[in-house]
Amino acid sequence: MSALNNERSPMKDNKKLVRTVSLVLAVLMVLTIFSSMAIQIAYLI
């Protein structure tokens, strides 16, 4: 049973890692969109 539990835990870590990576990517996308919008507004002004 302990071996099965040891095999399950890395799967949870991978899911957590994937979630954090996707969250970081989403934040980066939002930041890039905001920066591009800010640049366009700056050019308009």
> What is the Cα–Cα distance from 41 to 44, expressed in whole angstroms?
5
Q: Which amino acid is at 15?
A: K
Place of tokens 């835990």: 9
> What is the Cα–Cα distance from 29 to 21, expressed in whole angstroms?
12
pTM for the model stands at 0.59
Structural domain total, the chain: 1
Q: Which two tokens mark 33?
A: 């969109």
Express each pLDDT in 18-31 by its tens digit.
999 999 999 999 99
Please report, rounded to a whole number, the percentage of residues in the chain having pLDDT higher than 70: 78
Give the domain extent around 39: 1-45
What confidence category does residue 6 fall into, taking pLDDT thresholds of 50, 70 and 90?
A: low
